[in-house]
Chains A and B, each alone.
Chain A
Amino acid sequence: MPALTHSRPVRLAAGFAMVATAALVLSGCGRVDNADSAAATAAIDDKPATGTVSLWAPDGDANALDDTMAAFKADNPDLDLEVTLIPESEYNTKLQAAIASGTGPDIAQTYTEAQAGFIKGDAFAAVPDGLVDEDSFFPGSWAAGEIDGTAYTVPWYAYTYTLVYRKDIAEAAGLSAPTTWDEMIPFEKGLMAAGATKGLGASVGWDSYNGQDLTQLVWQAGGELINDDETEWTLDTPEMIEAIEYNASYFTSGVADVSGPGFLDSQPYFVTGKTASSITGPWVIGQFDAVAEQDGWTAENVGTATVPAGSAGSIGAIAGGSLGVLADSDNQESAWKVIRYLAESDTQIAQYESYGSLPAVQSSWEDPAIADQPLLDAFFDQLQDTRSYPQRTTWLQIATQMGAEMESVAKGQETAEEAAANLQSFADGVGTGE
Chain B
Amino acid sequence: MTALRTSTAPNTSGVPRKRRSRGVRKSLIAWIFLAPFAIVFLTYTAIPALAAIGFSFTDLQGRDLRNPFNVNFVAIDNYVRLFADARFIRDIGNTLLFVVVGVPLTMALGFALAVALNSGIRRLRGVFRTIFFAPVVTNIVAIALIWQYAFNNDGTINNVLANFGLAGPNWLDDTNTAMPVVILLGIWRNFGTAMLLFLAGLQAVPEDVQEAAALDGAGWWSRLWHITLPLLLPTILLISVLLTVFYLQVFDEPYLLTDGGPLGSTESMALYTYTQFGFGNYGISSAASVVTLVLVAVVSVVQFRLLRPRT
Mutual binders A and B? yes
A interface list, Cβ under 8 A from B? 1, 3-5, 10, 13, 16-17, 20-21, 23-25, 27, 29-32, 34, 92-93, 96, 99-100, 102, 117-118, 120-123, 204, 206-207, 258-260, 262, 264-265, 328, 393-394, 396-397, 400, 404, 407-408, 411, 413, 429, 433-434
B163 interfacial by beta-carbon distance below 8 Å: no
10 interchain pairs (CB within 8 A)? Answer: A1-B304, A4-B300, A16-B53, A17-B54, A24-B58, A29-B58, A93-B278, A117-B63, A122-B66, A407-B263
Tier of interface size on chain B: 35 or more
B61 near A207 (CB under 8 angstroms)?
no
B66 near A99 (CB under 8 angstroms)?
yes
A17 near B50 (CB under 8 angstroms)?
yes
Enumerate chain A residues within 8 angstroms of B300, measured Cβ to Cβ: 4
- Contact (A100, B304) CB under 8 Å given A17-B50, A259-B153: no
Residue of B50, B64, B152, B279 with highest tally of chain A CB at under 10 A: B279
B152 near A265 (CB under 8 angstroms)?
yes
B277 interfacial by beta-carbon distance below 8 Å: yes
A262 near B152 (CB under 8 angstroms)?
yes
A411 CA to B262 CA in the complex, in Å? 10
B184 interfacial by beta-carbon distance below 8 Å: no
B222 interfacial by beta-carbon distance below 8 Å: no
A421 CA to B16 CA in the complex, in Å? 80
Shortest C-beta distance, B174 to chain A (Å), equals 8
B301 interfacial by beta-carbon distance below 8 Å: yes
A21 CA to B76 CA in the complex, in Å? 11
Determine which of A10, A17, A100 lies in contact with B66 in the assembled complex, contact meaning CB atoms within 8 Å: A100
B57 near A24 (CB under 8 angstroms)?
yes
Determine which of A23, A396, A434 lies in contact with B279 in the assembled complex, contact meaning CB atoms within 8 Å: A396
B50 near A16 (CB under 8 angstroms)?
yes
B263 near A413 (CB under 8 angstroms)?
yes
Listed from nearest, the 5 A-B pairs whose CB atoms lie closest are A20-B54, A121-B63, A17-B53, A100-B65, A259-B170
Shortest C-beta distance, A392 to chain B (Å), equals 11
Shortest C-beta distance, A261 to chain B (Å), equals 8
B150 interfacial by beta-carbon distance below 8 Å: no
Q: Which of B67-75, B122-130, B205-213 contacts A (4 or more CB under 8 A)?
A: B67-75
B219 interfacial by beta-carbon distance below 8 Å: no
Enumerate chain B residues within 8 angstroms of A258, measured Cβ to Cβ: 173
Enumerate chain B residues within 8 angstroms of A408, measured Cβ to Cβ: 263
B62 near A121 (CB under 8 angstroms)?
yes
B301 near A5 (CB under 8 angstroms)?
yes
- Contact (A31, B275) CB under 8 Å given A96-B65, A393-B62: no
Within 8 A of A (CB), among B256-293: 259-264, 275, 277-281
A121 near B64 (CB under 8 angstroms)?
yes
**Which residue of chain A lies nearest to B63 when distances are taken between CB atoms in the complex?**
A121
Enumerate chain A residues within 8 angstroms of B279, measured Cβ to Cβ: 394, 396-397, 400
A31 CA to B304 CA in the complex, in Å? 44
Enumerate chain A residues within 8 angstroms of B71, measured Cβ to Cβ: 24, 29, 31
**Which residue of chain A lies nearest to B149 when distances are taken between CB atoms in the complex?**
A264
A94 CA to B155 CA in the complex, in Å? 33
Enumerate chain B residues within 8 angstroms of A102, measured Cβ to Cβ: 66
Enumerate chain B residues within 8 angstroms of A31, measured Cβ to Cβ: 64, 70-72
**Which residue of chain A lies nearest to B87 when distances are taken between CB atoms in the complex?**
A404
Enumerate chain A residues within 8 angstroms of B304, measured Cβ to Cβ: 1, 4
B161 interfacial by beta-carbon distance below 8 Å: no
A24 CA to B49 CA in the complex, in Å? 16
Shortest C-beta distance, A222 to chain B (Å), equals 29
**Which residue of chain A lies nearest to B154 when distances are taken between CB atoms in the complex?**
A265
Determine which of A92, A206, A260, A393 lies in contact with B263 in the assembled complex, contact meaning CB atoms within 8 Å: A206
Given contacts A21-B57, A24-B54, A24-B58, 10 further A-B contacts (CB under 8 A): A4-B301, A17-B54, A32-B70, A93-B277, A99-B65, A117-B62, A117-B63, A206-B263, A396-B280, A429-B81
B39 interfacial by beta-carbon distance below 8 Å: no
A13 CA to B52 CA in the complex, in Å? 11
**Which residue of chain B lies nearest to A119 when distances are taken between CB atoms in the complex?**
B63
B51 interfacial by beta-carbon distance below 8 Å: yes
A20 near B53 (CB under 8 angstroms)?
yes
A223 CA to B63 CA in the complex, in Å? 29
A429 CA to B73 CA in the complex, in Å? 19
**Which residue of chain B lies nearest to A429 when distances are taken between CB atoms in the complex?**
B81
Determine which of B51, B65, B261, B277 lies in contact with A121 in the assembled complex, contact meaning CB atoms within 8 Å: B65
A62 CA to B300 CA in the complex, in Å? 47
Enumerate chain B residues within 8 angstroms of A394, measured Cβ to Cβ: 279
B156 interfacial by beta-carbon distance below 8 Å: no
B54 near A407 (CB under 8 angstroms)?
no
A402 CA to B153 CA in the complex, in Å? 25
B278 near A92 (CB under 8 angstroms)?
yes
Enumerate chain B residues within 8 angstroms of A100, measured Cβ to Cβ: 65-66, 68
Shortest C-beta distance, A413 to chain B (Å), equals 7
B301 near A20 (CB under 8 angstroms)?
no
Shortest C-beta distance, A311 to chain B (Å), equals 31
B118 interfacial by beta-carbon distance below 8 Å: no
**Which residue of chain A lies nearest to B255 when distances are taken between CB atoms in the complex?**
A89
Determine which of B64, B152, B262 lies in contact with A206 in the assembled complex, contact meaning CB atoms within 8 Å: B262
Enumerate chain B residues within 8 angstroms of A117, measured Cβ to Cβ: 62-63, 280
Determine which of A30, A123, A260, A400 lies in contact with B173 in the assembled complex, contact meaning CB atoms within 8 Å: A260
B242 interfacial by beta-carbon distance below 8 Å: no
A34 near B67 (CB under 8 angstroms)?
yes
B148 interfacial by beta-carbon distance below 8 Å: yes
**Which residue of chain A lies nearest to B62 when distances are taken between CB atoms in the complex?**
A117
B308 interfacial by beta-carbon distance below 8 Å: yes
A96 near B280 (CB under 8 angstroms)?
yes
A117 CA to B280 CA in the complex, in Å? 8
Determine which of B64, B73, B153, B173 lies in contact with A21 in the assembled complex, contact meaning CB atoms within 8 Å: B73
Enumerate chain A residues within 8 angstroms of B152, measured Cβ to Cβ: 260, 262, 265
B297 interfacial by beta-carbon distance below 8 Å: yes
Shortest C-beta distance, A190 to chain B (Å), equals 24
Determine which of B50, B61, B63, B73 lies in contact with A13 in the assembled complex, contact meaning CB atoms within 8 Å: B50
A14 CA to B119 CA in the complex, in Å? 48
A29 near B72 (CB under 8 angstroms)?
yes
A29 near B73 (CB under 8 angstroms)?
yes
Within 8 A of A (CB), among B214-234: none
A377 CA to B50 CA in the complex, in Å? 55
- Contact (A393, B63) CB under 8 Å given A29-B71, A206-B263: yes
A13 CA to B49 CA in the complex, in Å? 9
- Contact (A434, B63) CB under 8 Å given A4-B297, A407-B263: yes
**Which residue of chain A lies nearest to B58 when distances are taken between CB atoms in the complex?**
A24
A172 CA to B81 CA in the complex, in Å? 56
Enumerate chain B residues within 8 angstroms of A328, measured Cβ to Cβ: 66
A135 CA to B262 CA in the complex, in Å? 43
